[in-house]
Each structure stands twice: as C-alpha cells, then as structure tokens.
Chains A and B, each alone.
Chain A
Amino acid sequence: MSAPEVYSIAQTPVTCHAFNADRTQVAVSLNDRHLHIFERQGHEWKNIETLSEHDKVITSIDWAPKTNQIVTASQDRNAYVWAQTPDPHTGATVWKPTLVLLRINRAATFVRWSPNEDKFAVASGARAIAICSFDPENNWWVARQLKKPIRSTVLSIDWHPNNVLLAAGSADMKARVFSAYIKDVDKKPAPSVWGEKLPFNTICGEYSSPAGGWVHAVGFSPSGDVLAFVSHDSSISIVYPSGPTVYTIRLNSLPYVTLTWTAEDSLVAAGHDCQPIVYAGSEAGWQAIGTLDDTSAAGGAKAGGARSGPVGRLNSAAFNTFRNADTRGQTSSSSTGEGDTELLTVHQNTITSVRPYEVGADGRVARVSTSGADGKLVVWDAGAVSALTGKMSGMRI
C-alpha cells in the first residue's frame, strides 16, 4: 500500500487529463482554450508546451497510446487531431493540428479514441455523437453522426473493446449503447451480449438513471459485457444486458461525475465527493468496498486541529462560524479551528476525471489517475483500498 502521488499542477481547475503511452507526459485542459502538455521532471510536472488552436474552453482530451496522436474537443464546436511532425523550416518536432469536420452546432463535450485508434467519437450538446474516421483519399477526418434517439446533450462516451460498440451517457437521463460500425474501417464484429447484427446507429441498450439524474459518465468493463454509469441523482448503476439485470446503488453522499473500471469485478468512481470510491461485485451483486483516499491517515499526518469533514457530508462548520459570530462576537475561530475549510480528502474540490494510469502484470489496472477542480493531479494505487468506516465517522452533525 503506497501513498498517492499528489501534484499541484495549476491554480485553476483541471478540466480533463490524458497521459501518453509511457506516462512521461500528460495533456491537460486548465479550463481554458489552450492545450497544455506537461512533462515529468523528477517529482514535478513542467509545462513544456502550450498549444493554442481552439477558440473556447477545451472540454475533453484523449491521447492515443499506439499512434501517439492527441484529440481535443472544445466548446468552440470543433475537434482537432494533433500529431507530431517535423517542422519544415527548423526540422524540430512540433504538434500539428488537423481540424475535424464535426458538423455540430453546439459545444463538443467529450472525446475518446476507439481501442484500435482508427476512429474516435465526439459527444456534443447538439444531441448527437460524431463518429470520426480517417479518409485517406482526402487526407482528413470525416464524421458520421449518431442522432436517434438522443434527446439532450451527450456528456460522456466509452468504447467497447470490439471497436464497434459505443456507450453514451446523456442529460436526457439515459445511458445508451450504440453501434458505431463504419463499413470502411471495421471488420464485422463477433456477436456479443449486446447483439448480433450491428449496422450503424443500432441501439443495443437504453437504461434510465434511477431518480432522474443526468448520466455523467459511462464505462464498459474490460470484457465489454458489463456497463456501469453514474448519474446526478447520487447513484451508480451496473448493467448486465442479458437479463437485463441492473444493480443500482444509491449513495449517501454527493454525486459522482466520472468512473473507470480497474478489472472485470471492480471499478473506481469519483466526483463531487472529492474522493475516489472503489466498487466491487459480480453478476450476483455490487457494493462499495472502500475509498482510495485514506482520510484518517491524511488527517493524522496533517497538523492537528478540528477540520471540516469531506465535502457533501453534514458538517456544521459554517453554522458554528455564524453562531460564534452572533453569540460571542468571534469573527474567526482560530482557537477552535472551526474556520478551517480544508477538507480531509486529498482533492480539495470536485474530481473531474478518473482514468486508468498503469496496468499491472495480471491485467488489472494497478494505478489510476485523477484530476480535480482544485488544480491537482493525483496518481492512486488502485489496490490501496481503505474501509469506508472512516468515511462514516467523518460524518459529523
């Protein structure tokens, strides 16, 4: 069990992050229009490149490990594919952008390369998902759109390992599984639990969030046979399509906004609760088994004194501050430490993205990385799960 590696890389929120194949560099969006590339130098990350091609905030980044291409999606309704090419004048290697014709009239919200890296999918606010593939004749990326039956902004997508199926979570409170089969690119997929014949835009599954929340994140299990999604009604659902059996867990705390599978029987979800929570289960049922953020150890390591509990739990720190100001005339309660707003968790604000960082020898994801609205980038040991008892005792009324 090793402690998480914590890097404060910005004073601004980190909207999303994507590591390269050997994890020496990371591409991040610092909630602005620039694509920042950081390089690991010892125990620090140094900004080595700032690429400016988008006009508005970059919402999502993905870095293809095999082809070493970066794709970015932005609120300016465009996506760019960045490839390293030699500069014709200086000969130095530079990142060269290629515009993708998405044909959407709203912001692009999310982008992911397919497993074979010959396609990528861009989710958007235009009630559509653009499936982009390379057209070698014209030397550009062309898009085909998945539209029906999406009724609102698509917030997240995830590719099935067979390179054809695509899961999408949307603000119309549904998670769906589509076929994104492109004739010129894909071989006919083998039949799976999601269906046998899969022409483009086949709907292989449609699942509602349990209490009407936007679906923030979706994810296929490593085999692709199970789908998990988290929604804004503070719940996580795990779908086995053959039944269909849906396991829904209603949370005690604030909603998750991102998730990633670490093995066929476990996943990590994180969000407004500021800490990554590990779920484990099988076709027989699912449950939360612990958190990667050992708040008890962190609280002990930090200088003592009362701190407010993890965000989203009941704590009366704000109430006490006002009461002290009212009854005792105390403007700051430095003596009791109640004015301290530092959270017990490593992340001090919403975790915006959790992604697999390193795959172990046994095929399980050994480490995951998170980025947060607090400007932190954290790498966690996915096996270092501490029990949730600390979480409950952290809840103070």
Chain B
Amino acid sequence: MSFRKIDIDAYDEDVIQETELVEPDPRDPTQVLADAKQKQADVRSALARNDVTGALSIALDQAPYGPNVDEAKNLTLQTVVSILNSTRSADIPAVLKDLSVENQDTLMKYLYKGMAMPGWGDVSGSVLLIWHEKLTEVAGTGCIVRVMTDRRTV
C-alpha cells in the first residue's frame, strides 16, 4: 500500500531537523575553502621536511564538515590521501601513535570516506585498508563507533 511511503514527518510540526543535531561550523564557507587551500600548501612543505605526523595533524585539524563546503571537503580528502600514499607502511604505527585522539577519529572518518568514493578501491584501496588496520590497533573499536555516530561528516 502506498501509505507506507507517506513521509509522516512532513505532517509533524515538531519534527527534529538534521541541523538541530549538529553545531554548525562557525567559519564562513569561503573561509573554510581558503583554510583548506592553505593547509594543502602547509602539508606539502611538511612532507618536504619528511614530517608525516606534522602533515597529518595540519590536514586533520579543524576538518571541514557540514553543508555548503563540498569543495573544501574534497580538497582536504585529497590532501589526506596524498599523505597516506606517500608514507612507508613501516612508519605508519609510529605516525598514528603521535596523533591526538581527536585527529585519530578524524583520520578514521577520511579512511571510510575514501573507501566510499566510487572507483577509489582500485587506486588506493590497499593503502586505505593498511591504514585502517593500523589505526584500529592504536585507537580501538571505539574509534570506529565514533565515526559511525558523529554527524559532523567530513
């Protein structure tokens, strides 16, 4: 029956909105994009100094979330993945241990986002899986649970 397809929330005056559940990013969308570009440059210079932990921390701090910042989100994802791709797998555990707990959670968000991108499985799938395995060893299953619950999607 078609009544199962009726959007009953449309008839509820007191319906809870997605926006009520998430604190919006205080920054302006253009500012967020400018920040993301600046971070990309900072990451490049950090990588040139061979400072992977520093580069990851720069990229993951104040990661863009919420609506209207898709360009900044994609840019940050590319920045993060470029760091992941350029790290030798033997160095990964040491890099992860030096990250803050917040940044570990944010990195896990980007790993899942990368796996969800269409076509990315062929390109960087194995890299993402290695990082995922090592990150779960360091941050535990709690880190994955937080990625699932957090509505501030990157």
Contact = CB atoms under 8 A, between A and B. Distances in A.
B21 A172 contact: yes
B116 interface: no
Contact of A211 (B21, B105, B139, B140): B105
Contacts of A173: 21
A280 interface: no
Nearest to A213: B149
Interface residues on B, range: 20 to 34
B137 A314 contact: yes
Interface string B129-152: 000010011011111011001111
B145 A254 contact: yes
Contacts of A208: 23
A313 B149 contact: no
Interface in A291-335: 312-314
Interface in A240-259: 250-255
A22 to B, nearest CB: 39
A72 interface: no
Interface stretch (A8-16, A231-239, A345-353): A231-239
B149 A232 contact: yes
A152 interface: yes
A312 B141 contact: yes
A271 to B, nearest CB: 11
A305 B152 CA distance: 44
A340 B1 CA distance: 46
Nearest to B141: A312
Interface string A155-192: 00000000000000000110000000000000000000
A151 interface: yes
Contacts of B34: none
A18 to B, nearest CB: 29
A234 B145 contact: yes
Nearest to B142: A234
Given A151-B16, A212-B21, A250 B146 contact: yes
A397 interface: yes
A251 B149 contact: no
B140 A232 contact: no
A127 B23 CA distance: 21
A314 B141 contact: yes
Interface in B1-17: 14, 16
Contacts of A255: 142, 145
A172 B139 CA distance: 26
Contacts of B141: 234, 252-254, 312-314
Nearest to A313: B141
B23 to A, nearest CB: 8
B140 A252 contact: yes
A250 B20 contact: no
Given A151-B16, A152-B16, A172-B21, A233 B149 contact: yes
Contacts of A252: 139-143
B142 A251 contact: yes
B94 interface: no
A250 B21 contact: no
A102 to B, nearest CB: 19
A211 B65 CA distance: 13
A255 B141 CA distance: 9
B105 to A, nearest CB: 7
B41 interface: no
Contacts of A232: 145, 149
Given A172-B21, A254-B142, A397 B137 contact: yes
A151 B105 contact: no
25 contacts: A151-B16, A172-B21, A173-B21, A211-B146, A211-B152, A212-B150, A213-B146, A232-B145, A233-B145, A233-B149, A233-B150, A234-B145, A250-B101, A250-B105, A250-B142, A250-B143, A251-B140, A252-B141, A253-B140, A253-B141, A253-B142, A254-B145, A255-B142, A255-B145, A314-B140
Given A211-B149, A212-B150, A314-B137, 19 more contacts: A211-B150, A211-B152, A212-B21, A212-B151, A213-B149, A233-B145, A233-B146, A234-B146, A235-B142, A250-B101, A250-B143, A251-B142, A252-B140, A253-B141, A312-B141, A313-B140, A314-B136, A314-B140, A395-B140
Interface of B: 14, 16, 20-23, 101, 105, 133, 136-137, 139-143, 145-146, 149-152
